[in-house]
Amino acid sequence: MTSVEDIKIGKATAKPLGKFEHPDLTAEGRQRASIELKQFETLWVNTGTLCNIECGHCYIESSPSNDRLVYLTNDELSPFLDEAALMGASEIAFTGGEPFLNSDFPAMMKTSLERGFSVLALTNAMRPMMRPPILKRLQEIHQRFGQSLKMRVSLDHFSAARHDEEREPNAFTTALIGLGWLRDQGVSFSIAARTFWDEDEAAMREGFASLFDENNFDLDAHNPTDLVLFPEMDMTEPVPEITTACWEILGKDPNDVMCANSRMVVKRKGASAPTVIACTLIAYDERFEMGESLKQAARPVKLNHPHCAKFCVLGGASCSG
Ligand code: SF4
Ligand code: SF4
């Protein structure tokens, strides 16, 4: 294996290292940071990348035609729930795509709740959720498990114009109908929004506070759990690599990063079985596949992807509820 010393004294291969290329070394030959799984808290489950809409900045590039991650089934999820329980996880979090497009999604939520986990379900609260048979299942699950089920609804902006610009015409109105249903049923929910280039966080929170008031949502826009704001990320901007020295320089604790306490199960198109990946943010890079079981996946994650620097170490974003 190439070491830092080999690089320094020129023993390395003739081809210089590219950024984010080598698992252990940066392009400058410094020791790349990695993150150990400290306490397994959340098992993320990707239900499939298909979505009823196609947003301008979807981090996983979901759309009505992207099925690179296919629908996971309740039977396929089951062994991962067994492992998650043994490893001490308390939460199962579902994301997509739009999870309600997957016909096994209600069963997956119910199975997870029956096994004693709390459930976080990410949704756009649009047409897939609002189909009558789905609403009936949701009602039953809510009545049986109460606050153990939490939904997180994506509403990019407090204004219909900006939200619809990202999504599609009338997306805002449709999402508010879904949110109104959740409110009326007493289902616990939070909102996930985005900060835009030209607005600061305080202005975003004020705008959402008015929206919550107008719609009688029992949410505090100034509470980051009720209103999660994801930072705007320019993926074309160059980003520095993260070395082992960065934690001290930045005053950041690696245990606060998502891959220190979670993993995500996905099923790739054409694969015979699901696989475990490091996190929700890097779905398609096979270097972040950690194994076929949570046990295999409980090894350190090397931070050799620009997202590690942009979203987690420098940007401060987290997908965890
Ligand atoms: S609703 Fe969510 S999953 Fe679907 S395209 Fe938009 S951001 Fe992506
Ligand atoms: S992007 Fe994923 S793998 Fe990289 S630091 Fe963040 S959580 Fe860990």
Pick the residue whose CA is nearest to atom 8 on ligand 2: 259
- Measured in Å, residue 63 CA sits from the centre of ligand 1 at 7
Candidates 123, 124, 319: which one to mutate for ligand 1, based on the most atoms within 8 Å of Cβ?
124
Decide if pLDDT at 6 tops 50. Answer: no
Pick the residue whose CA is nearest to atom 2 on ligand 2: 279
**pLDDT tens-digit profile of 74-116?**
999 999 999 999 999 999 999 999 999 999 999 999 999 999 9
**pLDDT tens-digit profile of 13-48?**
557 788 999 999 999 999 999 999 999 999 999 999
**Ligand 1 cavity residues, CB under 6 Å:** 51, 53-55, 58, 62, 96-98, 124, 154
> For domain 34-314, is the CATH number 3.30.465.10?
no
H, E, C per residue of the chain = CCCHHHHHCCCCCCCCCCCCCCCCECCCCCEECEECCCCCCEEEEECCCECCCCCCCCCCCCECCCCCECCCCHHHHHHHHHHHHHCCCCEEEEECCCHHHCCCHHHHHHHHHHCCCEEEEEECCCCCCCCHHHHHHHHHHHHHHHHHEEEEEECCCCCHHHHHHHCCCCHHHHHHHHHHHHHHHCCEEEEEEECCCCCCHHHHHHHHHHHHHHCCCCCCCCCCCCEEEECCCCCCCCCCCCECCHHHHHCCCHHHCHHHCEEEEECECCCCCCEEECCCCCCCCHHHEEECCCCCCCCCEECCCHHHHHHHHHCCCCCCC
Map out the domains of the chain as residue ranges: 1-31, 34-314
**pLDDT tens-digit profile of 141-191?**
999 999 999 999 999 999 999 999 999 999 999 999 999 999 999 999 999
- Measured in Å, residue 105 CA sits from the centre of ligand 1 at 17
- Measured in Å, residue 229 CA sits from the centre of ligand 1 at 15
- Measured in Å, residue 55 CA sits from the centre of ligand 1 at 6
Q: Which ligand is nearest to the CA of 194?
A: 1
pTM of the model: 0.92
Q: Which ligand is nearest to the CA of 122?
A: 1
- Measured in Å, residue 288 CA sits from the centre of ligand 2 at 9
96 Cα nearest atom in ligand 1: 3
What band does 227 get if pLDDT is binned at 50, 70 and 90? very high
Which segment of 3-7, 57-61, 263-267, 313-317 scores lowest on mean pLDDT?
Answer: 3-7
The pLDDT value recorded for residue 7 is: 43
303 Cα nearest atom in ligand 2: 4
**Ligand 2 cavity residues, CB under 6 Å:** 35, 257-259, 278-279, 281-282, 301, 303, 305, 307-308, 311-312
